[in-house]
């Protein structure tokens, strides 16, 4: 499909852009059930990074499922395509020099693995928000679980569609963590990650 396409050798690359911004760029991927806290935690982590002068961007359902992926539903194939496209977008943003925070249910392990491969494993930090289904249902932020239990929503993750938990996430937080504790745990890991990058 991609025959006859040759990449141009541009002179300004990720290395130059990271040097200009003063920090490395990578992807922080939040996965977990609906209502587990992905967006809330990603938002708080972004605020913390922003305060430290870092260049960030959040990808989540609001800016992706209403726009780029508005043609996709919640069937298994659509979810896979949703995550594949998001991985490609995140890769461009990481290449552009941003610390990207992505908050998606992303229920399939193979799809998350593809994202990690797309951005490069060294540029992928997986955060598993492992809040239990029971707690997510208790919160029922959007009323989706109640509808799913009534059979009004098909393919609801955790009820009538699968969620494959990460086997080896870089970070795991759940509802026993306060928001502040979750943010601190993630920021500590990110800071260590940044220190381990070669100074460019």
Residues annotated within a binding site: 32-39
Contact letters (x/-) for ligand PPS, 55-84, by CB under 6 A?
Answer: ------x---x--------x----x--xx-
Rounded Cα distance between 198 and 200, Å, is 6
Rounded Cα distance between 119 and 105, Å, is 18
Rounded Cα distance between 160 and 124, Å, is 29
The entry of ligand PPS, ligand ADP, none that residue 74 binds, CB within 5 to 8 Å by partner kind: ligand PPS
The entry of ligand PPS, ligand ADP, none that residue 18 binds, CB within 5 to 8 Å by partner kind: none
**Interaction of residue 141 with ligand ADP, rule CB under 6 A:** yes
Rounded Cα distance between 160 and 149, Å, is 9
How far, in Å, are 41, 55, 76, 95, 148 from residue 108 at the CA level? 21, 29, 9, 25, 20
Q: Is 178 a catalytic residue?
A: no
**Residue ranges binding ligand ADP (CB under 6 A):** 32, 34-41, 103, 139, 141, 175, 177-179, 182
**Residue ranges binding ligand PPS (CB under 6 A):** 34-35, 38-39, 61, 65, 74, 79, 82-83, 104-107, 142, 144, 153, 155-157, 161
């Amino acid at each position: 499909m991609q025959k006859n396409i040759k990449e141009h050798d541009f002179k300004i690359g990720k290395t130059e852009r990271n040097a200009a911004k003063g920090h490395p760029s990578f992807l922080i991927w939040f996965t977990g059930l609906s209502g587990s806290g992905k967006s809330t935690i990603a938002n708080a982590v972004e605020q913390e990074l922003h305060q430290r002068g870092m260049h960030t961007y959040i990808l989540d359902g609001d800016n992706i499922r209403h726009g780029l992926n508005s043609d996709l539903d919640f069937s298994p194939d659509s979810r896979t395509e949703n995550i594949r496209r998001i991985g490609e977008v995140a890769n461009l943003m990481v290449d552009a020099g941003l610390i990207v925070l992505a908050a998606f249910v992303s229920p399939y392990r193979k799809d998350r693995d593809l994202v990690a491969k797309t951005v490069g494993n060294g540029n992928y930090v997986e955060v598993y928000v492992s809040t239990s289904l029971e707690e997510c249902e208790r919160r029922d932020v959007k009323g989706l679980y109640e509808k799913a239990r009534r059979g009004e929503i098909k393919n609801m993750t955790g009820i009538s569609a699968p969620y494959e938990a990460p086997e080896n996430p870089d970070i795991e937080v759940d509802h026993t963590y306060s928001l502040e504790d979750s943010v601190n745990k993630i920021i500590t890991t990110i800071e260590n990650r940044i220190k381990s990058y070669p100074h460019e």
